[in-house]
A and B are shown apart, each in its own frame.
Chain A
Amino acid sequence: MHIPDGYLSNKVWLTCYAISLPIIAFAYIRLKRKMGKMEVPLFSALTATVFALQMVNYPLGPGGTTGHLIGTPMLAIIFGPDAGIVGLSVILFIQALLFGDGGITTYGANTLNMAITASLVSFYSYLLFRRAFKGEKGRVISGGLAGWLGIVSAALLCGLELGLSRATFGYGLNITIPVMGISHAVLGLVEGVITGFAVYAFGKYKPELFSR
């Protein structure tokens, strides 16, 4: 889902930058204000783990396509949406700069999709699901559903950006949104399972993180 340089039209990638950079800055300021000193090492370690998990490409998609975890939902649900936004923004920056995974012009779009949208959707949907699903089992189910929604929402927005860049990408919204949405609805099942497991594990060993 990392969009390389050259796929998005100038209007689209500039707009994405204009939207995402202020949100990342705002999330960073809020995170610094709200996150306790004791949580910082664990947040840093989990973000590094998310970077590692993103390297695994599992071939479960339609037509033999592969997918990878984005990891945003687990960061956002465990440490809050600001942490998901900041953590993924750092990961995407390192990936683009050092490994050529995602472009520089498209960094705004990639953060808008995988950092911002996935964080907000997964965190707030998790809170909603928790109203319906109580207890330990409910935590796993809510985490799983929110994780799936997080990656699917990021994919749909990615499809929107690509479809709006028809001049450079070649396909319109009628193709890009279904392709990205349907494939990630399948690939996202793994994200859901891993998020549910992570939320369960952290809820068991660090329940105070979920007291908010």
Chain B
Amino acid sequence: MKKIYLALAVFSAVAIVIGSTVLSVSYEPLDEVAERMNLTGENLLGSPFPEYTIPGFPCWAGGIISGLVGGIIVFAIIRLLMKVGEDGGN
């Protein structure tokens, strides 16, 4: 069982490093079409880590930190959501 968690941790770490270095450039079909229309796609909320970068850090380092922090937050939120109301349920 623990092997699965180890494998998932390794896959995640490798994905975050690759996604922040060699395969970090995103130019999706949606971007291509939007570019032709000069659409900028500005988000209404100013995100603290835009495009997985951290101000003051090189892009690759910001990407790795963003990936790790994001992954941990996602993990924690799912655990929390699945725990809410659990104790009072029975």
B-binding residues in A (CB < 8 A)? 1, 3-7, 28, 31-32, 35, 40-49, 51-59, 61-68, 86-87, 90-91, 94-101, 103-105, 158, 162, 169-171, 175-176, 179-180, 183-184, 187, 201-202, 205-206
Contacts and interface: CB of A to CB of B under 8 A. Distances in A.
B30 A158 contact: yes
A91 B85 CA distance: 22
5 contacts: A44-B79, A65-B28, A101-B51, A103-B41, A205-B4
A6 B42 contact: yes
B47 A55 contact: no
B4 to A, nearest CB: 6
Give the top 8 A-B pairs by smallest Cβ distance, nearest first.
A55-B19, A4-B41, A100-B47, A52-B12, A183-B29, A48-B75, A170-B37, A44-B78
Q: Which of B9, B29, B44, B84 counts the most chain A CB atoms within 10 A? A: B29
Contacts of B41: 4-7, 103
Contacts of B13: 52
Given A6-B41, A45-B5, A94-B70, 20 more contacts: A5-B43, A7-B41, A32-B85, A43-B78, A44-B82, A46-B8, A47-B75, A48-B75, A49-B8, A65-B32, A94-B74, A98-B49, A99-B52, A99-B70, A100-B50, A104-B45, A162-B30, A169-B37, A187-B29, A205-B4
Interface string B2-14: 0111011101110
Q: Is the interface of B mostly helix, strand, loop or mixed?
A: helix
What band does the interface of chain B fall in when counting residues whose beta carbon is under 8 Å from A?
Answer: 35 or more
B47 A5 contact: no
A105 B43 CA distance: 9
Contacts of B16: 52, 55
B21 to A, nearest CB: 10
B78 A47 contact: yes
A1 B27 contact: no
B30 A180 contact: yes
Contacts of B33: 162, 169, 171, 175-176, 179
